Every structure is written in C-alpha cells, then in structure tokens.
Amino acid sequence: MPTAVITGANRGLGLEFARVYLAAGWTVHAGCRNPMRADELKKLKGDLHIHALNVDDPKDAKALAKSLGSEPIDLLLNNAGIYGKRDLKVGGFDHDEFLNVLKTNVVAPIRLAEALVENVAHSTMKKMAFVTSRMGSIAMNAGGSIAYRTSKAALNMAVSCLSMDVKSRGITCILLHPGWVKTDMGGPNAAIGIPESIAGMKQVIDKTGHDDTGKFYDYQGQAIPW
C-alpha cells in the first residue's frame, strides 16, 4: 500500500488527513511537535508511525529524513501552518511575528520537500501536496491579515517554482485551499467541517496527475486564480 508523510498531524486538518489515509490502508508517518501530547493521534488505527517534527527546526527535518532512510513516500502532505497574530496591520506591525509566519508557512514546507524529495521520487505516486489558502490569491485579495496572506502567496510561488524544478523527475506538486473550515484557526463560524474539507482535498489529490503539477485548487477541485 502507499505511504504518506503528513505534517501538523496532531489536530485539525492534519489529524483528519491521518485518519482518512490510515482508514484507506496507507502507511502514515505523522509529524507533530510533541508526540507525548498527541493523544487523539495515538488513538488512530492502522500502520501509523508518529515522529517528533517541529517544522520550524531544520534538525527535525533532517532527523525525519534520516529515520525514513530510503523508504518511498508516495505523498508528502505539507499541512502544518500558522495564522499569526490577527491584529497585525500597517502602523502597528510586529515584524518578528511576520517573520515567524513566513518561516512556518513558507520556509518550513519547502525545506521538508527538499529533505524528502528522493523518497518521493522513488515512490509510485510521486506526489507533494501543500495546504495553502485562497487568502494567498492576489487576484482575490480582500485586504487585511497581511502576514498570513503574504505567507500563503509566497508559498504558492515557492511551490510553483518547485513544481518546475522536480517535474523532470515525475513528481507532481499541487496547492490546496481547504475552504473556510471549523478548526482552531478557522473558528466555530466557519462554513464547513473538517471531514468535508479533507474528503474533498483527498479526492483532488487522488485525481490530479502530472499534467496538474504546479496548480492551485480548492477542496472541491476548482482552480483558484493566482
């Protein structure tokens, strides 16, 4: 059966991704900051391997790559991300917080993709999926949330570039907007629940082929403008 690496797997979207892929019979390598506190993740049934993975720490990315060795990874699912302070705005900017959001949402997923590119290249499916946001679309920009919007726009560009760099190796890279989801980040008034979002994104991942590399879709499979 296929193998997936999922980041931010201890809660929210990442936890549901892990649940769904395990239920489908996949081997899942689930990364989270503190495995000792990942109680819900530990309850999942299936071929589950939990790894300590603070995506902001380069040492953790290297440690994960070392622990996986030459194991083929059919799907690298870069899900971990942060919103940052919601009151960041011009005139009252916390520049250190801005850098933290960029580090987690842009640098970290690209670093992990680089660390595991050989594992993905030697798999059958050869896919990398990155959870981004429609808020990173410049064409659809509604203002506000400067740090988060900027980080997702930057992630979109980084993955677009990555997709070109690894295309000759048969690797497909896609960007996924999960919708406005009822998570800690999305809040209780969000439009959809976690299971609906994950089911949709999994279907998009399943359907996309190499001709789709570098593209930006929502959880319903609709293309989103850059």
Q: What are the contacts of 33-41 at 24+ separation with CB within 8 A?
A: 34/10, 35/10, 37/10, 38/9, 38/10, 40/10, 40/11, 40/15, 41/9, 41/10, 41/15
Quote the pLDDT of residue 136.
97
pLDDT of residue 88: 59
Q: CA-CA distance, 117 to 135, in Å (whole number)?
A: 27
Q: Which CATH architecture has domain 3-218?
A: 3-Layer(aba) Sandwich (3.40)
Inform me whether the pLDDT recorded for 89 exceeds 70.
Answer: no
Q: Please tell me the predicted confidence (pLDDT) of residue 188.
A: 82
Task: Give CA 52 to chain center in angstroms.
Answer: 16
Structure tokens belonging to residue 193: 């629940």
Residue whose C-alpha is closest to residue 12's, from 152, 204, 189, 194: 194
pLDDT for 144: 86
pLDDT at position 190 is: 80
Residue 87 has pLDDT above 70, yes or no: no
Please state, as a whole number, how many other Cβ atoms lie within 10 Å of the Cβ of residue 214: 17
Q: Among the listed ranges 46-50, 95-99, 108-112, 185-189, which one has the minimum average pLDDT value? A: 185-189
DSSP string, 45-87: -SEEEEEE--TT-HHHHHHHHHHHTT---SEEEE-------TT
Distance CA 164, CA 14 (A): 26
CA atoms within 13 A on the CB side of 41: 28
Cβ atoms of 84 and 134 within 8 Å: the answer is no
- Inter-CA distances, 92 with 83, 87, 145, Å: 17, 8, 13
Quick: pLDDT tens for 160-218. Answer: 999 999 999 999 999 999 998 988 777 787 889 999 999 999 999 999 999 999 999 99
pLDDT value at 17 more than 70: yes
Which sequence spans correspond to the domains of the chain?
3-218
Mean pLDDT lowest for which of 52-66, 84-98, 176-190, 201-215?
84-98
What's the CA gap between 90 and 173, in Å, rounded?
34
- CA dist., res. 119 & res. 123, Å (int): 7
Task: Encode pLDDT of 100-158 as tens digits.
Answer: 999 999 999 999 999 999 999 999 999 999 999 999 999 999 988 899 999 999 999 99
Q: What is the pLDDT of residue 216?
A: 98
